[in-house]
Amino acid sequence: MGTINHPDLQLALKDFLIEEEKLTQVVYRMTKEMKMGLSKETHARAAVKCFVTYVQDLPTGKERGKFLALDLGGSNFRVLLVIIRGDSDLQTESRTYVFPETLMTGTAKELFDFITECLVQFCRQFGLENEGLPLGFTFSFPCHQQGLSKGTLVAWTKGFRVEGVVGRNVVELLQEAITRRGEISVTVVALINDTVGTLLSTAYFNNNCRIGLIVGTGTNACYVEKTVNAECFEGYQTSPKPYMVINTEWGAFGDNGVLEFVRTPYDKVIDKETVNPGRQTFEKCISGMYMGEMVRLILIDMMAKGVMFRNESSEKLLQRGSFSTSYISDIESDAPGEYRMCNKVLHNLGLRGNQESDRLNLRYICEAVSSRSAKLCACGLVTLINKMNINEVAIAVDGSVYRYHPTYPSMLEHHMKKLLKPGVKFELVCSEDGSGRGAALAAATTVKNK
């Protein structure tokens, strides 16, 4: 980042430039919180839940079969057909359906009927109505699983607030909706988180893969833990299988106040605006659902103080959510000294930005928000790698922020290297269609185990 000339802007961005000492402290605190989540005794009151996923085997490449998969949890809803032929041969057909925003705050029946409607359409299109296919369901919200095909929703995140789902088994809700509709023969056999899907689909090709990370609308990670440490799993001491994939649900880190030392006043404003105030503290500092809004808040603050875009006003910018997170990626993809994308963004917002300093400062704001996100995310990954105590690991990553922000992967890598013990090697692998393929692979293990 260059030099910020204006003292007010400098002050506003100071808190985003978290120094290394504080990052080390974040790792330390997260380690503690994760241990609480894993332990039977403290799990109930832990903020970072570290849910047992019941996924104990990573794919071997030998899985076979034809599966349906559903992917719900970000801005799109998808249905997939995955044909696994073995020897790393995965063939996928998928359709993306527009997810009506009204469903995010509707009722359980509306939500599951919509999902079933899309599934029926998809099955008709591919002539799969009567094949009795097994289905893997990627449902990217915190679930307390009681088995691979049973899990109750603990809380909604990412702006969802559908009535009648919290505390219910989502597999049952989906299966009931399919039965109610009565047009297709499909059995839901696996419920997984998107982080787990990402891990599984990459592990299929890469046998060093032990972590699945999402930095998209929301953020979260899963990792491979020793079964003996997964105390909330009934058979943790006697299981013949040595490993258990743990869904950390790290988005909730800080919900008990332990992250206050890195939060900024803007984070508090964001939190108040959301449908789940006080919840998903770490996620709100990191993920795509909030980054653009963070930039917008800083920007209107700077405009109100007369620091930026003097004598200009933008009705649009005053609207919540008007600064899309994708604008951050756009602005940061301009070469230094160039403002092609930046000008487009300004135009969209109805701003002229005649002063070069305005455009430069806007870039600084974007950089402050995205680099803080990458730093905190690096802390999370370092916590997991330290916890596993391994010297080499591949990390499967997916999500729009990671994929589309021009420097996010390199920032993440840079900060991880600074925080990790010397000699620990890691590789960030961008996962292709993890949620969908992963759900099919999870479904495949259930069929194999029968």
Applying CB under 6 A, which residues contact ligand BGC?
73, 140-142, 157-158, 193-195, 214, 216, 218-220, 249, 251, 283
CA–CA gap between residue 352 and residue 444 (Å, rounded): 55
Rg of the chain taking only CA atoms, in angstroms: 22
> b/e map of 289-299 (b: 16 or more CB within 10 Å)?
bbbbbbbbbbb
Q: Which C-beta is closer to ligand BGC: that of 141 or that of 339?
A: 141
* Min dist. Cβ of residue 9 to ligand BGC (A): 31
Q: Which residue is it, tokens 């030392």?
A: 261
* Min dist. Cβ of residue 409 to ligand BGC (A): 17
CA–CA gap between residue 197 and residue 217 (Å, rounded): 16
Backbone angles phi, psi at 245, to 5 degrees: -80, 130
Tally of CB atoms within 10 A around 91: 10
Q: Which C-beta is closer to ligand BGC: that of 158 or that of 296?
A: 158
Backbone angles phi, psi at 188, to 5 degrees: -80, 115
The amino acid present at 148, given as its one-letter code, is L
Q: Which residues, listed in sequence order, are joined to residue 76 by a DSSP beta bridge?
A: 98
The amino acid present at 269, given as its one-letter code, is V
* Min dist. Cβ of residue 193 to ligand BGC (A): 5
* Min dist. Cβ of residue 91 to ligand BGC (A): 25
* Min dist. Cβ of residue 74 to ligand BGC (A): 6
**Cβ-proximal residue to ligand BGC, closest one:** 218
Residue positions annotated with a catalytic role: 158, 194
For residue 292, what are its two tokens? 């653009």
CA–CA gap between residue 171 and residue 177 (Å, rounded): 10
Q: Which residues, listed in sequence order, are joined to residue 86 by a DSSP beta bridge?
A: 89
Q: Which C-beta is closer to ligand BGC: that of 144 or that of 448?
A: 144
Q: Which C-beta is closer to ligand BGC: that of 149 or that of 195?
A: 195
Contact 159, 289 (CB under 8 A): yes
Closest CA to 358 of 331, 335, 318, 320: 331
Q: Which C-beta is closer to ligand BGC: that of 194 or that of 367?
A: 194
Closest CA to 19 of 261, 253, 287, 271: 261
For residue 85, what are its two tokens? 């032929």
* Min dist. Cβ of residue 353 to ligand BGC (A): 34
For residue 432, what are its two tokens? 């292709």
Q: Which C-beta is closer to ligand BGC: that of 53 or that of 157?
A: 157
3-state secondary structure of 99: coil
CA 385 to mean position of chain CA atoms = 18
Q: Which C-beta is closer to ligand BGC: that of 116 or that of 193?
A: 193
* Min dist. Cβ of residue 270 to ligand BGC (A): 14
